[in-house]
């Protein structure tokens, strides 16, 4: 098995995450809520401590040593993230609080400037609420219309009528790369190709993709790409919006304040150059610096190894879960088209009860609509239980999950 081979030792990797060594409900913790947020390795925790212990200062304007150190580390982190996703320039890397703010920035800045009542926004019914609600608010302001790519019975996007949905009135297509609720890996190439053919821009939500695979935004050929740090072993409150420089240059500021200005006069102001035009106020300096360390950590392990480990772990989990009485697993049956996310129901047992029983066994999963209520409507349910795996999860974690589900069945047995 790859997890204990020379290429990848998930137990050794797991040992680098202090949170995972604790005991919950009298048993060793099994953390399977990675689609919500990942745990943090010691090197990331130490990087955060080092910044606040030794280099804490505001950036860019200070002339003293601490400010110089902080500024150098902060802008080096921007360069690092540009390299991490294949951006042509660090000027295209905008620091945000996360995926949600990145989408809101595009919707409010580019969208308000470019959309009108005759225009259309194309989304999918697979989207996280953060890639639906900002566009709904934009549509209310501008009069634009929202259309949706639907899903089929297995949770794949139905692209049979893509040309009709993405037509001459379409101005932007916003699509998730990987579903947070079903694990579906979406075929971005035909979507982006169709958008290009009608002159529409494309925003890709990469929150569930970046932690698990190498990303090259240039090769992807999208216009905006957004993701969060906390799902990729980094801290909360930091994320990245990448956009094409020629588009970002034309967009108005998202917020006003310090740092994003060039000149302030009584009746007007002018804006700083990219990327600072979109970064009003004191930024999350520590978050940016530490996110770069998380990127280093992931690349030191290697995304090829991570993907192979997760692919094997997913196959093992689906096989073992398939033997649990009453389980219904949602999402693609083709394992090559899904990530390491498994949403399920267990017979007539409410997912909240399933989660409570598992928690008593020291097993952490997620229950709810996963901020994807359109997906739940498509499935004909209100909530699901969701187990999501990451690079530090092991086959033993899967065995514990399966055992916990058997316990749930036994508790609720007639």
Question: What's the Cα-to-Cα distance from 46 to each of 18, 154, 294, rounded to whole Å?
Answer: 11, 43, 11
Query: What is the pLDDT averaged over residues 55-74?
Result: 94
Q: Is residue 185 part of a domain?
A: yes
- Closest CA relative to residue 250, chosen from 267, 232, 271, 219: 271
Contacts of 383 (CB under 8 A, 6+ apart): 351, 352, 367, 368, 369, 376
Tens digit of each residue's pLDDT (9 = 90 or more) over 374-414: 999 999 999 999 999 999 999 999 999 999 999 999 999 87
Tens digit of each residue's pLDDT (9 = 90 or more) over 149-170: 999 999 999 999 999 999 999 9
The pairing of beta strand 224-228 with beta strand 239-243 = antiparallel
Residue 5 reports pLDDT greater than 70: no
Active-site residue, selected from the candidate residues 43, 166, 175, 371:
371
Q: Is residue 39 part of a domain?
A: no
Tens digit of each residue's pLDDT (9 = 90 or more) over 283-304: 999 999 999 999 999 999 999 9
The two three-digit tokens of residue 40, written as one number: 């943090």
Looking at the structure, do residues 14 and 118 belong to the same domain, yes or no?
no
Q: Which residues pair with 170 in a beta bridge?
A: 120
- The CATH number of the domain where 172 resides is what? 3.40.640.10
CB 39 within 8 A of CB 233: yes
Domain boundary among 234, 267, 299: 299
Looking at the structure, do residues 110 and 178 belong to the same domain, yes or no?
yes
Q: Is residue 37 part of a domain?
A: no
Residue in the block written with tokens 């935004």? 217
What does the pLDDT read at residue 8? Answer: 76
Q: How many CB atoms lie within 10 A of CB 366?
A: 22
Tens digit of each residue's pLDDT (9 = 90 or more) over 198-224: 999 999 999 999 999 999 999 999 999
Looking at the structure, do residues 282 and 197 belong to the same domain, yes or no?
yes
Across the chain, what does the average pLDDT equal? 96
Q: Is residue 1 part of a domain?
A: no
Looking at the structure, do residues 270 and 353 belong to the same domain, yes or no?
no
Instruction: Look up the domain containing 292 and give its range.
Output: 46-299
Distance of alpha carbon 227 from alpha carbon 131, whole angstroms: 12
Looking at the structure, do residues 174 and 227 belong to the same domain, yes or no?
yes
Q: Is residue 3 part of a domain?
A: no
Domain boundary among 299, 326, 361: 299
Domain count, the chain: 2
Distance of alpha carbon 59 from alpha carbon 200, whole angstroms: 37
Residue in the block written with tokens 């098995």? 1
Instruction: Work out the burial of residue 411: count CB atoms within 10 Å of its CB; fewer than 13 is exposed, 13-18 middle, 19 or more buried.
Output: exposed
Domain boundary among 256, 273, 299: 299
Q: Is residue 41 part of a domain?
A: no
Looking at the structure, do residues 210 and 88 belong to the same domain, yes or no?
yes
Q: 254: helix, coil or strand?
A: coil
Looking at the structure, do residues 130 and 59 belong to the same domain, yes or no?
yes
Looking at the structure, do residues 22 and 53 belong to the same domain, yes or no?
no
pLDDT tier at 10, thresholds 50, 70, 90:
confident
**pLDDT exceeding 70 applies to what percent of the chain?**
98
Looking at the structure, do residues 292 and 321 belong to the same domain, yes or no?
no
What does the pLDDT read at residue 1? Answer: 45
- DSSP classification of residue 186: P
Catalytic annotation on 175?
no
- The CATH number of the domain where 330 resides is what? 3.90.1150.10
Looking at the structure, do residues 314 and 179 belong to the same domain, yes or no?
no
What does the pLDDT read at residue 62? Answer: 83
Residue 73 reports pLDDT greater than 50: yes
Query: What is the pLDDT averaged over residues 352-369?
Result: 98
- Helix 395-411, helix 303-321: angle, nearest 10: 30
Q: Is residue 232 part of a domain?
A: yes
| Cis peptide, bond prior to residue 275, ω within 30 of zero | yes
Looking at the structure, do residues 53 and 172 belong to the same domain, yes or no?
yes
pTM of the model: 0.96
What does the pLDDT read at residue 308? Answer: 94
């Amino acid at each position: 098995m790859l997890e204990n081979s020379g290429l990848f030792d998930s137990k050794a990797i797991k040992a680098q995450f202090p949170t995972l060594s604790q005991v919950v409900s009298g048993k060793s913790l099994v953390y399977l809520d990675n689609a919500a947020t990942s745990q943090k390795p010691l090197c990331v925790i130490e990087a955060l401590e080092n910044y606040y212990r030794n280099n804490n200062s505001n950036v860019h304007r200070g002339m003293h040593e601490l400010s110089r150190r902080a500024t150098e580390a902060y802008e080096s982190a921007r360069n690092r993230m540009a390299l991490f996703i294949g951006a042509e320039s660090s000027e295209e890397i905008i620091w945000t609080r996360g995926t949600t703010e990145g989408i809101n920035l595009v919707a409010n800045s580019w969208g308000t400037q470019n959309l009108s009542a005759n225009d259309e926004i194309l989304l999918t019914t697979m989207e996280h609420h953060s890639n639906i609600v900002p566009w709904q608010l934009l549509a209310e302001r501008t009069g634009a219309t929202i259309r949706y790519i639907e899903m089929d019975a297995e949770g794949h996007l139905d692209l049979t009528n893509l040309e009709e949905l993405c037509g001459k009135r379409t101005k932007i297509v916003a699509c998730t790369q990987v579903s947070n609720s079903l694990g579906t890996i979406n075929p971005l190439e035909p979507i982006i190709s169709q958008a290009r053919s009608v002159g529409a821009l494309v925003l890709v939500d990469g929150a569930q993709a970046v932690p698990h695979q190498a990303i090259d935004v240039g090769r992807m050929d999208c216009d905006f790409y957004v993701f969060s740090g906390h799902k990729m072993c980094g801290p909360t409150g930091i994320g990245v919006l990448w956009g094409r420089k020629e588009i970002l240059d034309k967009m108005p500021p998202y917020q006003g304040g310090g740092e994003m200005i060039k000149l302030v006069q009584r009746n007007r102001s002018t804006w700083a150059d990219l990327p600072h035009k979109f970064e009003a106020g004191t930024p999350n300096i520590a978050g940016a610096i530490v996110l770069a360390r998380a990127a280093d950590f992931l690349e030191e392990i290697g995304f090829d190894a991570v993907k192979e480990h997760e692919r094997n772990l997913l196959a093992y989990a689906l096989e073992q879960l398939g033997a649990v009485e009453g389980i219904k697993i949602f999402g693609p049956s083709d394992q090559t088209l899904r990530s390491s996310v498994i949403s399920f129901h267990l017979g007539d047992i409410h997912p909240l009860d399933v989660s409570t029983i598992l928690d008593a066994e020291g097993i952490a999963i997620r229950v709810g609509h996963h901020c994807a209520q359109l997906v739940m409507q498509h499935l004909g349910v209100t909530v699901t239980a969701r187990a999501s795996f990451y690079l530090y999860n092991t086959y033993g974690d899967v065995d514990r999950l399966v055992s916990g589900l058997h316990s749930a069945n036994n508790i609720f047995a007639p």
